[in-house]
Structure 1
Amino acid sequence: MEESNVIIHILAGGPAEAIPDLQAYKQRDVIWAAADRGVFRLLKQGIVPEAAFGDYDSVTEEELNWMKEQTSELHIVPKEKDQTDLELALNWAIKERPKLIRIFGATGGRLDHALANIQMLIKGLNSNIDIHLIDYKNKISLKNPGIYEVQQEQDFPYLSFLPVTDIVTGINLNGFKYPLINKTLHWGSTLCVSNELNEEKGTFSFETGILMVVRSTD
């Protein structure tokens, strides 16, 4: 199968103050989607989503009518359902088989929603698609065992590695201010919180478990 070059961006309905500047993420080969109030915010920025999911209980009737005028891609779903609006949008995105999915507007509000949205990153591991959850201070992803190269990023200089499974074994950090060799990380440990790259590039690797990688600003 030919590798996809498509990137899908999804804007959820979280607080506006936690959303980064979306104009910085406008690029070629990007498909935009949105969930609930994220649809309204995306349209207000002049970006028409190719898919939009929600019960739209966070917008007024006037705003909903305006949204209907702007796009024919509104999927209106029942308020009582087994999946959140964002999960519906993410499932649609995964079926499109992109090389990368970025999710915005998924943190900064209710903690239960934020935690559920972070947990949904597991769908990327299950489908072999890179998924990043990004807000104005953080970029979060999950990794299966392997060797990964990371580069310095001015916007996200700090890196933390958190266990998702009970135990993550064989962790190595090379090119970091605080290097590690063959360490084991247990659930609840803060050993790998707030590290930095010493060089332009570095690598991290681990042998078993699932690792959450969090890149953060100051």
Structure 2
Amino acid sequence: MTTIGIVANGPEELIPSLKHYQDNVDVWIGADRGSLTLLSNQIRPDYALGDFDSINQQEQIRIEKESKYFLKFNVEKDQTDLEIAIDKALELKGERIYFFGVTGGRLDHGLVNIQSLYVLLKQECSGIIIDKSNCVELFTPGSYRINSEKEFPNISFVPFSQHVSGLSLKGFYYPLQNYNLTWGSTRCISNKLLLNNGTFSFDKGILLLIKSRDG
């Protein structure tokens, strides 16, 4: 499985240590200022791309010099820099994509970035959004195993589609059996695993899994 890490130009203070994920990522892509974030984490971007309107000339020279491939686009374009990075990841046959630096900034960007997980899902590519406090992933109907993670103890399920039918949770502090979850419901917010792992399953709809920590 080819795993690609995309780093965008969201607030750097919300981006976790990228070295923690380095062993799992085959290709690193920096979108705009995200390329500089990669370099500050001592990771050489395999691809640095975007319009680079959020950096100065000296920073651009450094990115161009230290990246394997540098691709600059016009500021006036139909795609965001992140969309361009996603297209490159799919071109490289990425099967799993980690996203960093795509939360905590503008709300319109944040919402669209979460929606991009659905675009990937339709292409049979798994997308995972990660920042220092959250890990977000999208699921289609089925049964899934979930492991306990010390850095993300809180587990929430949020309907991405208007209805999620037949949701069951096993091994959770608040178990659930064949529940129909709809937009606006808080029934599945802030749950926890009882032991090291559990399972969740559902029959219809599209479901957001959000693992998080307080503070």
- Partner residue, 1:186: 182
Q: Residue 27 of structure 1: SS of its match in structure 2? A: helix
Distance 1:51 1:115 in 2: 25
Residue 85 of structure 2: which of 89, 98, 117 is its match?
A: 89
Provide the residue aligned with 1:136 in structure 2. Answer: 132
What's the Cα RMSD here? 1.2
Identity between Structure 1 and Structure 2 (%): 43
Shift of 1:190: 0.9
Q: Which of 108, 131, 152 is the matching residue for 1:156?
A: 152
Q: Aligned to 2:197, which of 193, 201, 213?
A: 201
Do residues 106 (structure 1) and 102 (structure 2) align? Answer: yes
Per-residue deviation, 1:76: 0.7
TM-score, scaled relative to structure 1: 0.94
Provide the residue aligned with 2:58 in structure 1. 62
Question: Does residue 121 of structure 1 match 2:131?
Answer: no
- Could you tell me which runs of 5 or more consecutive residues in structure 1 were left unpaired when the two chains were aligned: none
Deviations 1:36-89 (Å, cap 9, x if unpaired)?
Answer: 000112123321212222111100011112222222511111111111101110
Secondary structure, in 3 states, of the residue corresponding to 2:58? helix
Structure 2: tracts of 5 or more residues without a match: none
Q: 2:164 aligns with which of 165, 168, 193?
A: 168
Q: Measure the CA separation in 2 of the matches of 1:28 and 1:39.
A: 18
Residues 125-150 of structure 1 show CA distances to partners (whole Å, capped at 9, x for unaligned) of 11111110000000001000000000
Secondary structure class of the residue paired with 1:204: strand
Q: Are residues 1:14 and 2:7 paired?
A: no
Q: What is the letter of the counterpart of residue 32 of structure 1?
A: W
Question: How far does the alpha carbon of each residue in 1:96-123 deviate from its partner, in whole angstroms, 9 at most, with x for none?
Answer: 2233210001111111111111111112
Q: Which of the numbers 72, 80, 83 marks the counterpart of 1:76? A: 72
Which deviates the most, 84-93 or 22-31?
A: 22-31
User: Contact 1:97/1:129 (CA < 8 Å) preserved in 2?
Assistant: no
